[in-house]
Structure 1
């Protein structure tokens, strides 16, 4: 599965000159844990960092004296980990592990920001795949049980589809 299939396209940005209070309010209002920090330059608005809810709590609130009117740009991480939309989920996990981050900025084929992928997104996608595998197994078991119910010997009680079939075999347990 490609990153493009599960990344979030609703990127919330904040100007680097905004305050930490404004950043916290934006995170609350948009229900996000990270903001992309932007800076204006000759080419227009550019991504110049990120700030997370953890940054606000751990770094900003722990400062003495408390400076909630400090600029977001002063707290922003500028060493960004990017991943291409065409990358696989495995590559995203490897990038997160290698950089020690929970979120990656996703770029399109022209290296422009197109989304964000988080550890939560990856876990959700993997859970969906595992759920699909479980449904395959359950479907096979149901087909097997239904087939056994219809091929019983004459005179034997017929079992209901989906009902467990009692074993007449001897079970042995080997411990190795």
Structure 2
């Protein structure tokens, strides 16, 4: 299983020159807590940063700054920690841990945005694997009984 197989393909994005107010409104409209900040390079959307609702609270709200006069590129985390579509889930989890993030943009072989993978996505995939492994123990005795009958 790789990150491309579990990531969300419909990613909410913004450009680095959007105001924080515009970014916050976009988050609210799309019901998301983060935006992948992209630039279009050679016709491809390339991730250059991440902006989270927490970034907005810490950099704007807590400092009582004007969200209309501060731009995404002033607040975003850059460069973003990324994973490739073909990377396995262990690498994604490790990258999240090392970078202290809960979400990673997923890129294709050319570096274009392909999706986003979250900690919740990883937990769901791992829980499905653990459930499947648990079923092995019950199935093993059933097969043994069937073969010996």
Same fold (TM over 0.5): yes
> What root-mean-square deviation, in Å, do the aligned CA atoms of Structure 1 and Structure 2 show?
2.3
Q: Which protein shows a greater Rg?
A: 1
In the alignment, what sits opposite 2:66? 67
Using the size of structure 1 for normalisation, the TM-score is: 0.71
In the alignment, what sits opposite 1:99? 99
Name the CA shift for 1:38/1:109 in 2 (closer, same or farther; >3 Å). Answer: closer
Distance 2:92 2:108 in 1: 15
Name the CA shift for 1:119/1:71 in 2 (closer, same or farther; >3 Å). Answer: same
Using the size of structure 2 for normalisation, the TM-score is: 0.82
Moved over 6 A (4+): none
In the alignment, what sits opposite 2:50? 50
Normalized per residue, the structure richer in helix is: 2
Name the CA shift for 1:40/1:135 in 2 (closer, same or farther; >3 Å). Answer: closer
Is 1:133–2:137 an aligned residue pair?
Answer: no
Distance 1:105 1:75 in 2: 18
Distance 1:37 1:118 in 2: 16
1:39-97 CA-to-partner distances (Å, cap 9, x unmatched) read: 467x4664331101111122221114x31212122111112111111111011111111
Q: Using CA pairs below 8 Å that are at least 6 residues apart, which structure has the higher relative contact order?
A: 2
- Secondary structure of the 2:105 match is strand
In the alignment, what sits opposite 2:113? 113
**What is the number of equivalent residue pairs in this alignment?**
143
Distance 1:54 1:133 in 2: 37
